[in-house]
Chains A and B, each alone.
Chain A
Amino acid sequence: AQSVTQLGSHVSVSEGALVLLRCNYSSSVPPYLFWYVQYPNQGLQLLLKYTSAATLVKGINGFEAEFKKSETSFHLTKPSAHMSDAAEYFCAVSSSGGYNKLIFGAGTRLAVHP
């Protein structure tokens, strides 16, 4: 069975500091991996996805994530946090191909302070 663990339900950084949000997954087949962002009272927006091409994936708003099979990780990073990055971030996994359900982590709320 597939699962996702997001380490840290809350992360706080200073504006301009590195953002690192952790995601570890469990999957018996090669996975597809996703990061979504959610602003208050809104739906989820896709930040980036890994689909077995390049292991370093670049997304929107300056975010990127690296797929590390040996560590079963897909951590999300951004070199310099902006106040507008404050939101909740969700990591998700699915098995490759067709219509497959996404399994979501519990989410990490990112706070950015001046």
Chain B
Amino acid sequence: DGGITQSPKYLFRKEGQNVTLSCEQNLNHDAMYWYRQDPGQGLRLIYYSQIVNDFQKGDIAEGYSVSREKKESFPLTVTSAQKNPTAFYLCATQYPGGADEQFFGPGTRLTVL
């Protein structure tokens, strides 16, 4: 069954801790994206990767880090440098030759206690 998996669904973190959000896909898509969603602000791009071992900063990369060691996986680390990390995080993929549409995972809700 093809799709995008994000885990965990809910995540709680204490201030000062780093936390890693998982995103796995079996769609064989080359490009992967991380977005942050806050109420009333739509989706803001954190990082994206178009190929293994390469990634670029999006609009709000400060306080976040990523890796792309495998085509199927694009984990996002929220570091202690991120001042306001409580948000809903969405992972998306994109395939070549299409009309640029992105496919989204179910999301991870991160809450800082």
With a cutoff of 8 Å between Cβ atoms, the chain B residues found around residue A90 in the complex are 42-43
A101, B50: Cα distance in complex, Å: 11
Chain A count of residues within 8 A CB distance of the other chain: 25
Cross-chain contact B31 with A99 (CB below 8 angstroms): yes
Interface residues of A: mostly helix, strand, loop or mixed? loop
Which of B6, B41, B42, B50 has most chain A Cβ within 10 Å?
A: B42
A94, B102: Cα distance in complex, Å: 11
**Residues from 88 to 113 in B contacting A, C-beta threshold 8 Å:** 88, 90, 92, 94, 96, 99-107, 109
A32, B58: Cα distance in complex, Å: 20
Q: Which of A14-22, A62-70, A74-82, A102-110 lies on the face that meets chain B?
A: A102-110
Which of B43, B58, B90, B103 has most chain A Cβ within 10 Å?
A: B43
Cross-chain contact B109 with A99 (CB below 8 angstroms): no
Cross-chain contact B105 with A99 (CB below 8 angstroms): no
- Closest chain-B Cβ to A104's Cβ sits at a distance in Å of 5
Cross-chain contact B43 with A94 (CB below 8 angstroms): no
Within 8 Å of chain A (Cβ to Cβ): is B40?
Answer: yes
Residues in A lying within 8 Å of B, measured CB to CB: 9, 32, 34, 36, 41-46, 49, 51, 90, 94, 96-102, 104-107
